């Protein structure tokens, strides 16, 4: 087993300098948005470089939550994204398993067909999606959005799950079979626990697909009560006057759940859980 | 405890590849049977069919007299040790061993007793709480064996269990598995490509090639009476030497190949004349080629002049390689006399230990 290389002092200093620089590079824009969100009034442009502006105030946040329907949109987004993530995990884990382990007619064409759908840009799919959902009477509804998002996220997640299952040695399942486990029991007790890193990625990817999506939502959703966060945010950026304070405060809040989810799942995102089971 | 019987078992894969052709094999109760052959010979497929992991295309498989072709693996009362161990990585050693018993609804106290017992037999008691990845290769192998023995199955199946271990550990585990067999007194079927493992472990050895059983016999019988060219060449290390040549009659029957002529003893000659074949392959094991100066008490052939090509000192013995006819032959000598490459000596073949094969059918004819 390889251990992380230990660096010499100059090496450490060099490594941390580079890491700090890149972190700043990534964090600075977020900080600017944050500083925008706590500026009094509605000022976008300023000469000050201070992160915490003069007369800093959380008024924009207060407004968002108590005067605007922002909380409502947030719940909408949370609902849609969570359901998409659940559907994504449920379908991708099982479909990926079938593609990885079973042989059936049309398997290869199905795999190919699934990945082909990824070749079309969303803007090209918008019209057919729109027409389909209208015919299904799912226009302007959560369900329509959920179906659209699940369909977008699934091809990638199915492939991803299949790829991960391929790395789990089949002999583990054979051993379970001989030990007396049914296929379903083997799937739940042996295969799924080992696939947790891939499931975490599937969940995260599905959630993110729905959480930050704008184009499909803007076409499918008209009712402001059904707005998801990206739609709501865009709402503050009107053609005549943009509410930059609300906009930036919203942007900060929108990114928080993703960060939290990522931190929660990151312990599963480490690979190598199957290390030690077999030697090959 | 159980018997295993295969009757005309054939395995044909979907792409029409025949993995096993008409295998007939009877394994007695408490017997240790080794399936051996080069890679791709179908030995693992045969084992997996007995386990129920591969379907049997045609023929019948009986365990304890009961036909089990359509019985799922879990109901065959077998346990299998995999080449890659196949330990459940997310469970500790205890749970790995207890998994099968829990599924069979054994009472917790009985599970505990059996797992502890197996742990003691295999010397892994102190690792019961560890995950497989915290174990060495040899320890993992023990856990895999432990998982099999807690079940007390009718038949143990081993699929090349030692091939991932280093040479020293392999010898040690070989002895332990032998000891385990004595202790458990159960039927064991063991697959390996290593003929030394096969010879040292098996009560009975099944030699396979290209999906066909070549010979089923005890280790010593296989060594002394190989039925065909393949078995003769596969069993024994270094391998048996082969010389292609012709039979000619001059007073007595002679075997002749480039630069070598050996007049054959009457018994061998009679057997060979009966077949009427003129072209034959002569087989002789390295230990049956002797330095003429050192050996006199054997029924030796006429001396052959050779030049030693390569000398391999092993310590307890020495291998000499030399050219004869178109072949490079190997002879085994005692380390008492030191030879050097380039040295010219006279050697002779032990005429009682010569094997003759038909070059076309590869069957042994004398």
The tens digit of pLDDT for each residue in A59-97 reads 888 888 888 888 899 999 999 999 999 999 999 999 999
Question: Using the beta-carbon criterion (under 8 Å), do B133 and A278 form an inter-chain contact?
Answer: no
Whether A132 and A249 map to the same domain: the answer is yes
**Residue A169 domain-assigned (yes or no):** yes
Burial A22-41 (b: 16+ CB within 10 A, else e): eeeeeeeeeeebbbbbbbee
Average pLDDT, chain B: 92
Question: Using the beta-carbon criterion (under 8 Å), do B103 and A276 form an inter-chain contact?
Answer: no
Question: Using the beta-carbon criterion (under 8 Å), do A175 and B82 form an inter-chain contact?
Answer: yes
Give the DSSP H or E segment for B67.
strand B66-67
Q: Which of B143, B84, B149 is nearest to B114 (CA)?
A: B149
Length of chain B in residues, anyone?
A: 366
Distance CA(A65)–CA(A60), nearest Å, equals: 9
User: Which of A14, A30, A57 is the last residue before a domain boundary?
Assistant: A57
Burial of B120 (0-12, 13-18, 19+ CB in 10 A): exposed
Whether A185 and A210 map to the same domain: the answer is yes
**Residue A147 domain-assigned (yes or no):** yes
Size of interface A-B (CB pairs under 8 A): 85
User: Which of A36, A57, A78 is the last residue before a domain boundary?
Assistant: A57
**Residue A153 domain-assigned (yes or no):** yes
Residue-wise DSSP of A99-134: HHH---TTHHHHHHHHHHGGGS-HHHHHHHHHHHHH
Strand blocks (E) in B72-229: 78-81, 155-159, 187-192, 204-209, 212-217
pTM: 0.83
Instruction: Give Cα separations from B205 to A29, B34, B171, B188, B284 (angstroms).
Output: 73, 5, 18, 12, 22
Whether A9 and A145 map to the same domain: the answer is no
Q: How many CB atoms lie within 10 A of CB B328?
A: 12
B89 to chain A, any CB pair closer than 8 A? The answer is yes
Cβ neighbours of residue B222 under 8 Å, at least 6 residues apart? B199, B205, B207, B215, B231, B235
pLDDT per residue as tens digits for the range B56-70: 999 999 999 999 999
**Residue A112 domain-assigned (yes or no):** yes
For residue B130, which residues of chain A lie inside 8 Å, CB to CB?
none
What's the pLDDT score for residue B216? 96
Range of the domain at A248: 66-273
For residue B53, which residues of chain A lie inside 8 Å, CB to CB?
174, 177-178
What's the pLDDT score for residue A276? 40
Tokens at B291, concatenated = 């330095």
pLDDT per residue as tens digits for the range B151-192: 999 999 999 999 888 888 899 999 999 999 999 999 999 999
The alpha carbon of residue B45 is apart from the nearest alpha carbon of chain A, in Å, by 14
Question: Using the beta-carbon criterion (under 8 Å), do A175 and B86 form an inter-chain contact?
Answer: yes
Tokens at B347, concatenated = 């050697």
Whether A100 and A157 map to the same domain: the answer is yes
Q: Which residue has the tokens 């395995």?
A: B11
The alpha carbon of residue A95 is apart from the nearest alpha carbon of chain B, in Å, by 23
Burial of B48 (0-12, 13-18, 19+ CB in 10 A): buried
pLDDT per residue as tens digits for the range B191-240: 999 999 999 999 999 999 999 999 999 999 999 999 999 999 999 989 99
Burial of B361 (0-12, 13-18, 19+ CB in 10 A): exposed
Whether A178 and A44 map to the same domain: the answer is no
Tell me the mean pLDDT in the region B76-84: 93
Burial A43-75 (b: 16+ CB within 10 A, else e): eeeeeeeeeeeeeeeebbbeebeeebebeebbe
Strand ranges of the sheet holding B4-12, from the earlier edge strand across to the other edge: B18-27, B4-12, B58-63, B66-67
B173 to chain A, any CB pair closer than 8 A? The answer is no
Q: Which of B118, B130, B124 is nearest to B88 (CA)?
A: B130
**Residue A5 domain-assigned (yes or no):** yes
Whether A103 and A230 map to the same domain: the answer is yes
What's the pLDDT score for residue A239? 61
Q: Which of B78, B84, B132 sits opposite A178 (nearest CB)?
A: B78
Query: Residue B351: is its pLDDT beyond 80?
Result: yes
Whether A99 and A181 map to the same domain: the answer is yes
What's the pLDDT score for residue B357? 95
For residue B134, which residues of chain A lie inside 8 Å, CB to CB?
276
Residue of chain A minimizing CA distance to B161: A279
Residue-wise DSSP of A226-243: G--HHHHHHHTB-SS-B-
Q: Which of B101, B84, B103 is nearest to B153 (CA)?
A: B101
What's the pLDDT score for residue A275? 40
Whether A204 and A134 map to the same domain: the answer is yes
**Residue A280 domain-assigned (yes or no):** no
Distance CA(A258)–CA(A261), nearest Å, equals: 5
Tell me the mean pLDDT in the region B317-344: 90
Chain A residues contacting B via beta carbons under 8 Å:
169, 171-172, 174-181, 185, 190, 193-194, 273-280
What's the pLDDT score for residue A110? 92
Residue pLDDT tens, chain A, 280 long: 445 567 788 889 999 999 999 999 999 888 888 888 888 866 666 777 777 777 788 888 888 888 888 889 999 999 999 999 999 999 999 999 999 999 899 999 999 998 888 888 888 888 888 898 889 998 888 999 999 999 889 998 999 999 999 999 999 999 999 999 999 999 999 999 999 888 988 998 899 889 988 888 888 888 888 888 888 888 887 766 678 888 888 888 888 888 888 787 777 665 544 444 444 3
3-class secondary-structure state, position B6: strand
Number of domains in chain A: 2
Whether A159 and A232 map to the same domain: the answer is yes
What's the pLDDT score for residue B21? 94
**Residue A120 domain-assigned (yes or no):** yes
Whether A191 and A269 map to the same domain: the answer is yes
Distance CA(B45)–CA(B49), nearest Å, equals: 6
Whether A87 and A181 map to the same domain: the answer is yes
Tokens at B129, concatenated = 């709480």
- Torsion angle of alpha carbons A226, A227, A229, A230, nearest 10°? 150
Taken in order B285, B291, B297, B303, is the CA torsion positive or negative?
positive
Residue of chain A minimizing CA distance to B136: A276
Distance CA(A251)–CA(A35), nearest Å, equals: 12
**Residue A278 domain-assigned (yes or no):** no
Q: Which residue has the tokens 């840009």?
A: A121
B149 to chain A, any CB pair closer than 8 A? The answer is no
The alpha carbon of residue A182 is apart from the nearest alpha carbon of chain B, in Å, by 9
Whether A224 and A90 map to the same domain: the answer is yes
pLDDT per residue as tens digits for the range B261-294: 888 988 889 889 888 888 999 999 999 999 998 8
Q: Are B207 and B215 in contact (CB under 8 A)?
A: yes
Tokens at B301, concatenated = 């052939």
Best to test chain A binding among B14, B77, B84 (most A CBs inside 10 Å) = B84
Q: Using omega within 30 degrees of 0 as the cis cutoff, is the peptide bond preceding B238 cis?
A: yes
Question: Using the beta-carbon criterion (under 8 Å), do B147 and A278 form an inter-chain contact?
Answer: no
């Amino acid at each position: 087993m390889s251990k992380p290389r230990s660096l010499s002092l100059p090496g450490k200093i060099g490594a941390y300098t580079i890491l700090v620089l890149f972190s700043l590079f990534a964090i600075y824009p977020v900080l600017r948005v944050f500083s925008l969100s706590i500026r009094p009034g509605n000022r976008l442009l300023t000469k000050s470089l201070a992160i915490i502006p003069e007369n800093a105030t959380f008024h924009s946040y207060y407004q968002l939550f108590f005067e605007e329907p922002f909380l409502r949109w947030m719940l909408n987004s949370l609902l849609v994204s969570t359901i998409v993530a659940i559907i994504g995990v449920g379908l991708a884990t099982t479909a990926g398993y079938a593609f990885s382990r079973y042989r059936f007619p049309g398997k290869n064409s199905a795999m190919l067909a699934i990945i082909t759908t990824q070749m079309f840009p969303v803007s090209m799919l918008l019209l057919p999606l729109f027409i389909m959902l209208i015919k299904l009477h799912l226009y302007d509804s959560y369900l329509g959005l959920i179906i659209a998002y699940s369909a977008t996220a699934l091809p990638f997640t199915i492939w991803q799950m299949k790829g991960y299952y391929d790395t789990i040695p089949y002999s583990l399942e054979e051993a379970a079979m001989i030990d007396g486990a049914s296929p379903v029991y083997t799937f739940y007790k042996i295969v799924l626990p080992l696939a947790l890193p891939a499931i975490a990625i599937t969940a995260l990817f599905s959630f993110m697909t729905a959480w930050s999506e704008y184009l499909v939502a803007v076409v499918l959703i008209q009712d402001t009560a059904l707005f998801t966060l990206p739609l709501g945010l865009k709402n503050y950026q009107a053609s005549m006057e943009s509410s930059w304070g609300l906009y930036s405060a919203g942007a900060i809040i929108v990114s928080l759940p993703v960060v939290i989810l990522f931190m929660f799942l990151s312990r599963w995102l480490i690979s190598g859980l199957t290390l030690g089971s077999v030697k090959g | 405890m159980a018997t295993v019987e295969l009757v005309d078992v054939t395995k044909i894969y979907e792409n029409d590849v025949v993995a096993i052709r008409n295998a007939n094999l009877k394994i007695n109760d408490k017997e240790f049977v080794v399936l051996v052959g080069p890679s791709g010979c179908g030995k693992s497929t045969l084992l997996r069919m007995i386990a129920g992991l591969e379907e049997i295309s045609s023929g019948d498989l009986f365990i304890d007299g009961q036909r089990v072709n359509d019985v799922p693996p879990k109901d065959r009362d077998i346990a299998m040790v995999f080449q890659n161990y196949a330990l459940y990585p997310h469970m500790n050693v205890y749970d790995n061993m207890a998994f099968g018993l829990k599924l069979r609804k054994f009472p917790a106290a009985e599970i505990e007793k059996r797992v502890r017992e197996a742990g003691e037999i295999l010397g892994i008691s102190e690792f019961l709480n560890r995950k497989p990845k915290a174990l060495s290769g040899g320890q993992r192998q023990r856990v895999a064996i432990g998982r099999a023995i807690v079940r007390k199955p009718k038949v143990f199946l081993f699929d090349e269990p030692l091939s991932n271990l280093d040479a020293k550990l392999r010898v040690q585990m070989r002895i332990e598995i032998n000891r385990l067999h004595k202790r458990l007194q159960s039927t064991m079927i063991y697959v390996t490509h290593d003929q030394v493992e096969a010879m040292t472990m098996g009560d009975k050895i099944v030699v396979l090639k290209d999906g066909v059983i070549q010979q089923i016999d005890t280790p010593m019988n296989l060594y002394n009476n190989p039925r065909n060219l393949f078995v003769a060449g596969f069993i024994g290390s270094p391998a048996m030497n082969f010389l292609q040549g012709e039979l000619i009659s001059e007073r007595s029957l002679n075997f002749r190949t480039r630069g070598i002529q050996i007049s054959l003893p009457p018994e061998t000659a009679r057997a060979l004349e009966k077949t009427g074949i003129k072209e034959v392959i002569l087989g002789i094991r390295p230990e049956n080629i002797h330095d003429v100066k050192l050996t006199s008490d054997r029924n030796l052939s006429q001396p052959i002049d050779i030049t030693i090509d390569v000398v391999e000192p092993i310590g307890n013995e020495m291998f000499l390689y030399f050219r004869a006819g178109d072949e490079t032959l190997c002879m085994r000598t005692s380390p008492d006399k030191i030879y050097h490459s380039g040295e010219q000596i006279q050697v002779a073949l032990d005429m009682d230990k010569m094997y003759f094969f038909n070059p076309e059918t590869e069957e042994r004819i004398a």
